[in-house]
Structure 1
Amino acid sequence: MKTTYIRFSLAAVLLLGIYSCKKGEVASSDMEAYANADSAAIAVSDSISSVATMKVKDKQFIKNADVNMEVKDVYETTISIEKSVQELGGFVTISNLQSNVISEDTYNTSDENAVFVKKYQTENRMQLRVPTERLGELLTKINDQKLFLNSRQINAEDITSSIKYAQLESKRIEKNSKNISELKSNKDKVELDNENMAEDNQQQLANMDATDNLKYSTVDIYIKEPKIRVAEIAITNTKSIDDKYKFDFFYSAKSAFVEGYYLIQKIFVGLITIWPILLIGAAVFYFARKRKPVKKQPDAEA
């Protein structure tokens, strides 16, 4: 009896802490019907918070959960969770599984073979939508997959006041529509009618979102593996291939001889191209040498 009292007390404190109203939202007939509907009780393990399955008379809650945990195998856990969600009538909206590479190294084992070693850690970020009445059951199945639970947060947002406010807003919009219809047709009436219709459309959109959030709870999950995995991939020893064909003396000598022959051709063709400059230079040199005075030799002593 004492344990039950403590659980209800903790639930009441949590609800007071997370209580908030969505201002301006209006509930449709579908949302009102869901708000008054009774859900079947769900048995969950003691490891799941009572917030997930809690019911309070004349109160309606939008429930969400956030789970962060470590698992043995991310891929297998992902498949298991997705299967559980489908069995419970829910669906997966996000599943971002990826492997974070820590290091990559290549080790040669022979002249022909080598091993490519990759160290990595796998993780996945998921977002699920599950019927609210089965949220506790899903959290139990998720909890069974954990090796270590880093954190788990379950929120229950009380929108009872928003539902009541939505009913009042629906009546107001309906009354405005009737009042506008009784006005004389003119430009102002058209504008008022358009504004009222736009407001009604916004209300219907808010109604659908609120109804969907009441019927389906959103669960965000982050899972990762606690240890680093190693992948060993057999590959070809590329270093031995590079060494084999890196240098060939006879081929290189032949190529050098051919390149030298082409270089001589290019030099000869270049000289032919600048023959006028060479001719002018030769003429200038000739006349300059011819005009240069010849130094007289001193007489030899007798």
Structure 2
Amino acid sequence: MKTTYIKLSLAAALLLGIYSCKKGEVASTDLEAYATTDSAAVVVSDSISSVASMKVKDKQFIKTADVNMEVKDVYNTTIAIEKSVQELGGFVTNSNLQSNVVSENTYNTSSEEAMLVKKYQTENRMQVRIPTEKLGELLTAINTNKLFLNSRSINAEDVTANIKYSELEGKRNQKTSENISKLKTNKDKVKLDDENMSEGNLQKLSSMNMTDDLKYSTIDIYIKEPQLRIAEIAVTNTTNIDNQYKYNFIYDAKDGFVYGFYLIQRIIVGLINVWPILLIAAAIIYFLRKRKTLKSEQSKIQG
């Protein structure tokens, strides 16, 4: 089954009653509250965007938004956005606030103290879910925190046909189940029934996801501060501490004496390990000197 087919067809089970067979009217009371109106279209009064609060009769939209802007204080703006989301009945699915350090230097201010100076820029990437009917209100609340708006995109995907197609696929799945039940029980029937039930479960899962996407809009938010911030952190003067303990004459002299004593021991032990070589060398030297002495005496006698 193709990906497109799965995406369109797996939403049938829970949305089976969305459209009635008569006049194409919306049957689900849960979806009526935010997906339909009596008018052709409604535009949000604060003019944040006609897409954000657009409602069209007998049409259903999955709405998403993306906001990229610069703010005075990322942390305070994050708190304000999270509070607005909560007040409007939404929730935060992701918030990744971080400070990117541009430079870091330590300056000694006394023999014991120093100052760590960091230059950094703070940013946050958030994703929030908000009831679709509150999308325009939240975008307005977010907009009040901006210093500069880099970009903002709002998308309303018309899924009316998708839902109708899902309804038809749900009926097809139900009809297939009825046909399978009429077959004689055997291994093939069990396999067909299992496959059909699996497809039905996937349709239910997709229906739940689509219903959730219709009810809650997703907003991706990226905020950052336009300029670098400076943090001054009092720390210990580590350079002075290092110099203080870097060299100790008495300890190093004592340690050198002990090391020399053990070095002598190692030399002696090494000589003991090679005593056969030393013995052979001594014997060679002895015979060479004796031979030289004999030659010298013979030369005197001949002379």
- Check whether TM > 0.5: yes
What pairs up with 1:25-44 in 2 under 5 angstroms? 25-27=10-12, 28-29=14-15, 32=18, 33=28, 34-37=30-33, 43-44=44-45
**Separation in 1, partners of 2:222, 2:49:** 19
Partner of 2:82: 82
Cα gap change, 1:249 to 1:185, in 2 (>3 Å): closer
2:236 aligned with 1:236, yes or no? yes
2:299 aligned with 1:296, yes or no? yes
The letter of the residue matching 1:23 is L
Backbone CA RMSD of aligned residues: 2.4
CA distances 1:110-140 after superposition (whole Å, capped 9, x unpaired): 1111001111111111010111011111111
**Separation in 2, partners of 1:176, 1:217:** 35
Aligned residues: 279
Partner of 1:256: 256
**Separation in 1, partners of 2:151, 2:56:** 26
Q: SS of 2:51's equivalent? A: helix
What pairs up with 1:1-302 in 2 under 5 angstroms? 23-27=8-12, 28-29=14-15, 32=18, 33=28, 34-37=30-33, 43-46=44-47, 48-292=48-292, 293-294=295-296, 296=299
The letter of the residue matching 1:296 is S
**Separation in 2, partners of 1:250, 1:214:** 79
Cα gap change, 1:277 to 1:131, in 2 (>3 Å): same
TM-score (norm 1): 0.85
The letter of the residue matching 1:201 is N
Shift of 1:38: 5.2
CA distances 1:231-289 after superposition (whole Å, capped 9, x unpaired): 11111111111222222334333332332233223223332333333222212221222
Q: Percent identity?
A: 65
Shift of 1:51: 0.1
**Separation in 2, partners of 1:55, 1:253:** 88
**Separation in 2, partners of 1:73, 1:30:** 47
List gaps (5 residues or longer) in structure 1.
1-20
**Separation in 1, partners of 2:87, 2:34:** 21
The letter of the residue matching 2:46 is S
**Separation in 2, partners of 1:242, 1:274:** 45
259-268 vs 146-155, greater mean Cα deviation: 259-268
Kept in 1, the 8 Å contact 2:8–2:163? The answer is no
CA distances 1:208-243 after superposition (whole Å, capped 9, x unpaired): 111110000000000111111111111111111122
Q: SS of 2:9's equivalent? A: coil
115-124 vs 36-45, greater mean Cα deviation: 36-45
Kept in 1, the 8 Å contact 2:10–2:200? The answer is no
**Separation in 1, partners of 2:247, 2:32:** 85
Kept in 1, the 8 Å contact 2:7–2:206? The answer is no
List gaps (5 residues or longer) in structure 2.
1-5, 19-27
Shift of 1:296: 2.5
Partner of 2:22: none
